Structure 1
Amino acid sequence: MRERILDLVFLIGVLFKGIDGLLETVGGILLLVISPERLVSAANAATARELAEDPHDVIANLLVHGVAHLNAGSKTFFAAYLLLHGVVKLAIVIALLIGSRRVYPWAMAALGAFVVFQLYELVRSPSIAVVVLTLLDILIIWLTWREWRRNRELRHTWRGTVDGILRRRRAR
């Protein structure tokens, strides 16, 4: 049972990384093509209702203030970071889906590099969101190492997990 749960967490983590990579890639592209003024307008429009109801809403205030302090240099840096981060995550997920076990060490190394950068960011500017992302990345690295060590490809983990869940449902 523990093995099935860990397999399921791994699969959900890979799915989350794929969605996250896609969102980061799209966000990086949008940052490149949208002017800082339009970003401020969009952030104000997106958060206006929430801030009218709760002027102290943390996420809405972070979004509005974060976008307001973007300049051309920081916008380019964030766009490049999001694009790099997103494309690497998408490449890892696609390679895992294709079924190459050779990608596991590369995936662990890439995620490890992101963890190192996130730890640097935590020292420089502590953030609960970065702590959570870093812990999730460490969990995914460990689960990827576990799959690699077990000599399994993602599709085998998928089939085994789905078969195990379906067998449990039929047994009930």
Structure 2
Amino acid sequence: MARVGFLERTFRVSVVLKGIDGVLELVGGILLLFLTPERIGAVVRFLTQHELGQDPDDPVANALVRASHQLTGSATLFGAIYLLLHGVVKVVLVWAVLRRRFWAYPWMIGFLVVFILWQCWELSRHASWGLVALTLFDILVVALTVREWRVQRRLRAEPAAQPSE
């Protein structure tokens, strides 16, 4: 049995995390399809009331409440479609890469590079530590996916091992 190296293990863990993210995006997209902006606001108020009761200046809770007040029906529909499409693509690509489907590696790389570029553009408009962390994680996943794609390409190019007599 072949020994799994640190980089391959890191690659697998990071891709699985991307898959979990994709599933969460699907769940979020489905929820946005069925929740009105008013209902989302009520849920956000319910989830943040304890924290705001303890610390009325909590920046995260206040940002969530402000964001929920600005939601419109078209914004939630756009968010739902975005999350559903992004989640489906991510889950399919993660599944294919974990199954070592050769075609999926360049698609995964391209998909993530497009989102890294978009995230960098968003960072130039308004920086946030969360978006910085996500962008750095995506860069790591791209680098590991490129490495794994090269490994898989090399393995495919090698002739099958001949049994020795």
Tell me which interval the TM-score lies in, with the shorter structure as reference length: 0.7 to 0.9
1:49 maps to 50
Determine if the alignment matches structure 1 residue 31 to structure 2 residue 32.
yes
Give RMSD over aligned pairs. 1.6
2-structure distance, mates of 1:146, 1:47: 42
Identity of aligned residues (%): 46
2:86 maps to 85
Residue 54 of structure 1 and its aligned partner are, at CA, apart by: 1.8
**TM-score, normalised to structure 2's length?**
0.84
1:71 maps to 72
User: Larger radius of gyration, structure 1 or 2?
Assistant: 2
Residue 5 of structure 1 and its aligned partner are, at CA, apart by: 2.5
1:15 maps to 16
Residue 136 of structure 1 and its aligned partner are, at CA, apart by: 0.5
Larger helix proportion, structure 1 or 2? 1
Structure 1 unaligned segments of length 5 or more: list them. Answer: 153-172
2-structure distance, mates of 1:86, 1:67: 22
1:136 maps to 137
Residue 4 of structure 1 and its aligned partner are, at CA, apart by: 2.6
Structure 2 unaligned segments of length 5 or more: list them. Answer: 154-165
Deviation readout 1:105-126 (Å, 9 max, x if unpaired): 1110011111111112112222
1-structure distance, mates of 2:99, 2:13: 17
Q: Report 1:132-171 matches (<5 A).
A: 132-151=133-152
- 8 Å Cα contact 2:12/2:98 also seen in 1: no
Deviation readout 1:138-172 (Å, 9 max, x if unpaired): 110000000011117xxxxxxxxxxxxxxxxxxxx
